[in-house]
């Protein structure tokens, strides 16, 4: 769903990937067969390469019993192939009423039309129905919130095969040590297995977007890891504030220590410092859905970390008793041999172990 345009860009259109282009008044621009122009502000870049559509269908691993969720069907090129693949049903969610009308015209009288249901609405705002597989060529500006909305959906689906902007896709699949490894990588990979399937050049679309694309497969983990997602993201947010600094340096920051000490005292007063439950699923769909709002900072973080004005705690703070708490935090980091390590090189297992060490010591991040 496109973001509202600011006054300074009211005569511009937002491109997929956040690019801005001057509106052309008068003719020009790609159009549907009926003469309706595509709206780039809605991310309308229609797949025109039949071989690519077939490849996406093949990668989805469809079964005759599957209900497929398609997001942004456009003129129905992918929709048609999904129906012809013999699935039980296709549920297509489309924001643009003109495209909904085009779909109804295209499939009117089609022998498989009874298997197609079209929902007109904003996929980020509407309640999604049950589905087994999601196949989508989405507007790139909704990549981050849509990914986490899908991962918070219950019951858990089997897999999603989605076209993303190339750089966003490479962040999803980035591994420790990669330049693009970031909070987005860590959070999505906690919840799912992600794999890169296809590179897609911009000329496969009409009209061509300004950026290249990639098709990614996302398979939700079953069961979810036994961790509170709010806790997890609280830890990862601190660690990736400056991902190339050592954890020892990050956790000496006065702001971080104040936050953790406040949480520590609160949990102690509630007598909840130690969670006695084991093996249960602590991560709720609500936890995951919280991430759907973290669009800007999660989706396109740069490898150059933000400058941080936070100062390390100095000797003047010793008088108020924070020195002992700082030593407690440093002791936890040293216990797991994390003090000299950097977030950019840590794996999922490393972060889960670090969080468990903090939690066992009564240190919480939410």
Residues at the annotated binding site? 45, 47, 72, 94, 122, 137
Measured CA angle at 187 (ends 181, 193), to 5 deg: 90
Would you tell me how many other CB atoms lie within 10 Å of the CB of residue 86?
A: 12
Q: Compute the distance between CA of residue 273 and CA of residue 267 in angstroms, rounded to an integer.
A: 5
Q: Are 250 and 232 in contact (CB under 8 A)?
A: no
Binding residue numbers for S-adenosyl-L-methionine? 45, 47, 72, 94, 122, 137
Would you tell me how many other CB atoms lie within 10 Å of the CB of residue 8?
A: 8
Please count the residues of the chain.
366
Tokens of 46: 């229609």
DSSP, residue by residue, 18-79: S-EEEPPPSS-S-B-TTSPBP-GGGT--EE--HHHHHHHHHHHT--TT-EEEEE--TTSHHH
Find, among 106, 122, 147, 364, the residue nearest to 234 by Cα: 364
For 232, residues 6+ apart whose C-beta sits below 8 A from its C-beta are: 187, 190, 283, 351, 355, 365
Q: Are 74 and 106 in contact (CB under 8 A)?
A: no
| Bridge partner residues of 205 (DSSP) | 47
| Bridge partner residues of 216 (DSSP) | 162, 196
């Amino acid at each position: 769903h496109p973001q509202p345009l600011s006054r300074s860009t009211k005569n511009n259109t937002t491109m997929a990937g956040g690019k801005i282009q001057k509106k052309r008044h008068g003719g020009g621009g790609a159009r549907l067969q009926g003469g309706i122009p595509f709206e780039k502000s809605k991310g309308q870049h229609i797949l025109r390469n039949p071989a690519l559509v077939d490849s996406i269908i093949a990668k989805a691993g469809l079964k005759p019993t599957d209900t497929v969720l398609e997001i942004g069907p456009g003129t129905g090129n992918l929709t048609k192939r999904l129906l012809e693949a013999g699935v039980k049903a296709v549920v297509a969610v489309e924001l643009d009423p003109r495209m909904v009308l085009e779909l109804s015209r295209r499939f009117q009288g089609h022998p498989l039309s009874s298997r197609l249901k079209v929902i007109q609405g904003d996929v980020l705002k509407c309640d999604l129905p049950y589905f087994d597989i999601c196949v989508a060529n989405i507007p790139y500006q909704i990549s981050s919130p849509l990914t986490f909305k899908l991962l918070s959906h219950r019951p858990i689906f089997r897999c999603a095969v989605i076209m993303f902007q190339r750089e966003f896709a490479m962040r999803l699949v980035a591994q420790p040590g990669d330049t693009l490894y970031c909070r987005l990588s860590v959070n999505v990979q906690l919840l799912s297995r992600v794999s890169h399937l296809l590179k897609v050049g911009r000329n496969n679309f009409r009209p061509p977007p300004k950026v290249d694309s990639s098709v990614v497969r996302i398979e939700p983990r079953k069961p979810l890891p036994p961790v509170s997602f709010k806790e997890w993201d609280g830890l990862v947010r601190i660690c990736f504030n400056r991902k190339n600094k050592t954890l020892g340096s990050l956790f000496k920051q006065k702001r971080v220590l104040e936050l953790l000490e406040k949480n520590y005292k609160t949990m102690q007063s509630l007598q909840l410092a130690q969670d006695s439950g084991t093996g249960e699923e602590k991560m709720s769909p609500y936890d995951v859905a919280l991430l759907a709002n973290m669009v800007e900072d999660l989706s396109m973080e740069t490898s150059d970390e933000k400058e941080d004005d936070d100062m390390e705690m100095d000797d003047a703070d010793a008088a108020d008793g924070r020195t002992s708490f700082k030593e407690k935090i440093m002791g936890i980091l040293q216990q797991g041999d994390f003090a000299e390590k950097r977030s950019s090189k840590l794996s999922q297992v490393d972060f889960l172990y670090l969080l468990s060490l903090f939690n066992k010591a009564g240190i919480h991040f939410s």
